[in-house]
Structure 1
Amino acid sequence: MSDKKNFVDKYFNIKNSLLYFALFLLISAVSLYYVNKIYSQGSNLDVLFSFSTKILISLFTLLFFYFIFDGLRLYFVLKTLNAGISFWNVYKLVFINIFISNITPLATGGGFAQVYFLQKKGIPLGKSSAAVLIRTLLSATMLFLSVPLIVFRNRSMLNLLPGDYIFVYLGLFLALYILVFYLLIFKLRTIMKIIYKFFYFLKSKHLLTKKRFRKITRYIFKNLELFSEDLAFFIQGKKIYVFLSFLFTVIFLLAEFSFSYLILKGLGYEIHFFRILTLQVLVVFIMYFAPTPGAAGIAEGGYSLLFSKFVNQSDLFPLLFYWRFFSKYVGILIGVFVFFHLIIRGGIEVEEE
Structure 2
Amino acid sequence: MIKQEDNNSFIDKYFNLKSSLLYFGIFVLISAVSMYYLNKFFAEGNNLDIIFSFSKNILVSLLLLVFLYFILDALRLYFVLKTLKADISFWNIYQLVFINIFISNITPLATGGGFAQVYFLQKKGVELGKSSAAVLIRTLLSATMLFLSVPFIVLTHQSMLNLLPGNYVFIYLGIFLALYLLIFYLIIFRVRLIMKMAYKFFYFLKNKHLLTKKRFRKIIRYIFKHLELFSNDLVFFIQGKKIFVFLSFFFTTVFLLAEFSFSYLIIKGLGYQIAFSKILALQILVVFIMYFAPTPGAAGIAEGGYSLLFAGLIAKKDLFPLLFYWRFLSKYIGIFIGIFVFFYLIIKGGVEGEK
Name the TM-score class by shorter chain.
Answer: over 0.9
The residue that corresponds to 1:259 in the other structure is: 262
Query: Given residue 145 of structure 1, which amino acid in structure 2 is its aligned partner?
Result: L
Shift of 1:348: 3.9
3-state SS of paired residue (1:324): helix
**Which among 175, 183, 187 is matched to residue 184 of structure 1?**
187
2:261 matches 1:240: no
> In structure 2, do the counterparts of structure 1 residues 350 and 243 end up closer, same or farther at CA, with 3 Å as the change threshold?
farther
Q: Which amino acid aligns with 1:105?
A: P
CA distance in 2, matches of 1:266, 1:107: 31
Once residues 220 and 350 of structure 2 are traced to their aligned partners in structure 1, the CA distance between those partners, rounded to angstroms, is 27
TM-score (norm 1): 0.96
Aligned partners of 1:346 and 1:83: how far apart in 2? 24
Shift of 1:155: 1.1
Q: Which residue of 2 is the match for residue 309 of structure 1?
A: 312
Residue identity over aligned pairs, in percent, reads 76
Where in structure 2 are the equivalents of 1:46-61 lying within 5 Å? Answer: 46-61=49-64
Contact 2:39 2:45 in 1 (8 A): no
CA distance in 2, matches of 1:240, 1:121: 24
Of residues 245-254 and 167-176 in structure 1, the stretch that sits farther from structure 2 once superposed is: 167-176
Secondary structure, counterpart of 1:23 in structure 2? helix
CA contact (8 A) 1:99 1:335 kept: yes
Superposition pairs of residues 1-353 of structure 1, within 5 angstroms: 2-346=5-349, 348-349=351-352
Distance in 1 of aligned mates of 2:245 and 2:141? 11
In terms of mean alpha carbon deviation, does 337-346 or 254-263 score higher? 337-346
1:204-232 Cα distance to aligned partner (Å, 9 max, x none): 12221111111111011000000000111
3-state SS of 2:194 partner: helix
How far apart are the structure 1 equivalents of 2:130 and 2:7? Answer: 19
Over the residues paired in the alignment, what is the CA RMSD in angstroms? 1.5
Quick check: 1:43–1:315 contact (8 Å CA) kept in 2?
A: no
* SS of alignment partner, residue 165 of structure 1: helix
Cα displacement (A) at 1:347: 5.9
Give 1:291 deviation, angstroms. Answer: 0.7
Q: Distance in 2 between matches of 1:285 and 1:187?
A: 27
TM-superposed CA distance for 1:17, in Å, is 0.7
TM-score (norm 2): 0.96
Give distance in 2, aligned partners of 1:347 and 1:174.
41
Distance in 2, Cα, partners of 1:203 & 1:134: 33
In the alignment, the residues of structure 1 paired with residue 67 and residue 21 of structure 2 have an alpha-carbon distance, to the nearest angstrom, of 27
How many pairs align?
351
Instruction: Spell out, residue by residue over 1:263-311, the C-alpha distance to the aligned partner (whole angstroms, 9 max, x if none).
Output: 1111111111111111111111111111111000010001100111011
**CA contact under 8 A between 1:259 and 1:327: conserved in structure 2?**
yes
Residue identity in the other structure for 1:79 = K
Deviation at 1:177, TM superposition (A): 2.4
- State the distance in 2 between where 1:197 and 1:9 align: 29
In the alignment, residue 345 of structure 2 is paired with which amino acid?
A: L
Kindly provide the CA deviation profile for residues 300-348 of structure 1, in whole angstroms up to 9, marking residues without a partner as x. Answer: 0011001110111110000000000000000000011111211134464
Q: Is the 8 A contact 1:117 1:347 kept in 2?
A: no
Q: Which amino acid aligns with 1:46?
A: D
State the one-letter code of the partner of 1:285: F
> What are structure 1's unaligned runs of at least 5 residues?
none
1:164, distance to aligned residue in structure 2 (A): 2.8
